[in-house]
């Protein structure tokens, strides 16, 4: 098991040689995961509710100008949902890993700061009060709701002389999330039209999204991903303990604020694009932790790659098993991820945070 000093990047000279072998194995594993992600992306474009021969898909990609039904299916349906699945998976995986590191809670997911609840209440109010009826219309309300919920949680969690702490942030997030969930349910249940529109968004799906949604959330996810990966060394130092981290010169409050900002950008954008998909952010960091240990410098990149694999595989399975209809990606992701997560727990392979 990797030591705390190794996780933080403080290796004595005699340990550096030993670490090179692990570094090579982790790098090769990450490259293999990227290769799997590329293959899954290709499958997501080639396979769908309507069977289309691979040759036809390839011809459609090469001859975008032809206005046949198969070309429209590939370009207007499969490519947009694949791209959205990629960026949403990246966002959910990184947000889950950051949340577990920030709160030191192995059961934390992006919903722990009330971000999902904030997005949901903004969407349901937009439907009820403003009559918003399209997915592209929901996106900005969802993102604003997620950011607003985080701001409230952070203000509550940092009140007093103690400042921010994982426990205070988690408790504030749970309280704010419960209150917002009550508002969401009340508004949705009091109006049939609002409930019908809201349930289509809240189920969590990649279907029905176009490239407008992808380009709308891409800047936020890119910024959040770069910030998240850059926080890896700081999170490793914090894992040594607050006193040790301060002794090493770490700025705990700055790291927590940046981590929370990254989670808000990532989870807010992903939730706005595809609706609440909860299990991916919980399970993927644990799966990554069994492969590379608790070192955030490797855990975050692995989560970045593994999460879109899980989400895209779930989406493809959902399209195939319910032809000519489909199952939502959030439902299939839970069915796929739960056995893997349970296997990790039962074999006691969860690496401590």
- 147-204 confidence digits (pLDDT tens): 888 888 878 877 766 555 667 777 888 899 899 999 999 998 888 888 888 887 888 8
CA triple 222-328-67, angle to 5 deg: 75
Length of the chain: 353
- Residue 32 confidence class, pLDDT cut points 50, 70, 90: very high
Cα torsion 185, 189, 194, 195: sign? positive
The top-scoring range by mean pLDDT among 25-29, 51-55, 167-171 is 25-29
- Cα–Cα distance measured from residue 18 to residue 280, given in angstroms and rounded to the nearest whole number: 33
- Cα–Cα distance measured from residue 353 to residue 333, given in angstroms and rounded to the nearest whole number: 24
CB 290 within 8 A of CB 344: yes
What is the full DSSP assignment across 88-157?
HHHHHHHHHHHHHHHHT-TT--GGGGTHHHHHHHHHHHIIIII---SHHHHHHHHHHHHHHHHHHHHHHH
Cα torsion 304, 115, 235, 226: sign? positive
What is the full DSSP assignment across 246-266?
HHTT--HHHHHHHHHHHHHHH
Confidence (pLDDT) at 317:
93
- 263-274 confidence digits (pLDDT tens): 888 988 898 888
- Cα–Cα distance measured from residue 188 to residue 319, given in angstroms and rounded to the nearest whole number: 28
Fold of 4-346: ABC transporter involved in vitamin B12 uptake, BtuC (1.10.3470)
Which residues, including other chains, have CB under 8 Å from residue 48's CB and lie 6 or more apart? 73, 77, 78, 316, 319, 320
What is the full DSSP assignment across 165-185?
-HHHHHHHHHHHHHHHHHHHH
Instruction: Delimit the domains of the chain by residue range.
Output: 4-346
345: DSSP letter:
H
Using the predicted structure, report yes or no on whether residue 237 has a pLDDT greater than 50.
Answer: yes
Average pLDDT, the chain: 82
The top-scoring range by mean pLDDT among 49-63, 224-238, 252-266 is 224-238
- Cα–Cα distance measured from residue 243 to residue 187, given in angstroms and rounded to the nearest whole number: 46
Q: Counting Cβ atoms within 10 Å, is residue 29 exposed (0-12), middle (13-18) or buried (19+)?
A: middle
Name the residue with tokens 């990606």: 329
Confidence (pLDDT) at 353:
59
* pTM to 2 decimal places: 0.85
Gyration radius of the chain over CA positions: 21
Using the predicted structure, report yes or no on whether residue 326 has a pLDDT greater than 50.
Answer: yes
Which residues, including other chains, have CB under 8 Å from residue 177's CB and lie 6 or more apart? 111, 112, 113, 114, 116, 117, 149
Residue of 295, 329, 308, 208 lying closest to 266 (CA atoms): 308
- Residue 8 confidence class, pLDDT cut points 50, 70, 90: very low
């Amino acid at each position: 098991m990797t030591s705390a000093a190794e996780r933080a990047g403080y290796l004595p000279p005699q340990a550096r040689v030993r670490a090179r072998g692990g570094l090579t194995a982790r790098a090769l594993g990450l490259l293999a995961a990227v290769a799997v992600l590329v293959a899954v992306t290709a499958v997501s474009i080639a396979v769908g509710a309507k069977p289309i021969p691979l040759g036809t898909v390839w011809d459609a990609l090469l001859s975008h100008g032809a206005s046949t039904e198969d070309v429209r299916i590939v370009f207007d349906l499969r490519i947009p949902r694949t791209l959205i699945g990629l960026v949403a998976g990246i966002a959910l995986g990184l947000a889950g890993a950051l949340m577990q590191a920030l709160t030191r809670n192995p059961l934390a997911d992006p919903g722990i700061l009330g971000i999902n609840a904030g997005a949901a209440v903004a969407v349901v109010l937009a439907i009820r009060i403003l009559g918003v009826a399209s997915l592209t219309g929901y996106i900005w309300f969802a993102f604003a709701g997620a950011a607003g919920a985080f701001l409230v949680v952070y203000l509550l969690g940092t009140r007093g002389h103690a400042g921010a702490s994982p426990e205070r942030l988690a408790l504030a997030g749970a309280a704010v999330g419960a209150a917002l969930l009550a508002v969401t349910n009340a508004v949705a249940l009091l109006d049939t039209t609002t409930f019908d529109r809201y349930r289509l968004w809240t189920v969590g799906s990649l279907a029905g999204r176009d490239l407008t949604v992808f380009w709308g959330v891409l800047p936020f996810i890119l910024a959040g991903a770069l910030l998240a990966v850059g926080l890896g060394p700081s999170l490793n130092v914090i894992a040594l303990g607050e006193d040790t981290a301060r002794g090493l010169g770490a700025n705990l409050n700055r790291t927590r604020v940046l981590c929370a900002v990254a989670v808000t950008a990532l989870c807010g954008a992903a939730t706005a694009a595809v609706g609440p998909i909860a299990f991916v952010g919980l399970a993927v960091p644990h799966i990554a932790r069994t492969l590379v240990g608790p070192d955030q410098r490797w855990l975050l990149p692995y989560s970045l790659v593994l999460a879109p694999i899980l989400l895209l595989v779930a989406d493809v399975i959902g399209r195939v098993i319910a032809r000519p209809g489909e199952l939502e990606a959030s439902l299939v992701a839970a069915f796929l991820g739960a056995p893997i997560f349970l296997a990790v727990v039962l074999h006691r392979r969860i690496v401590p945070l």
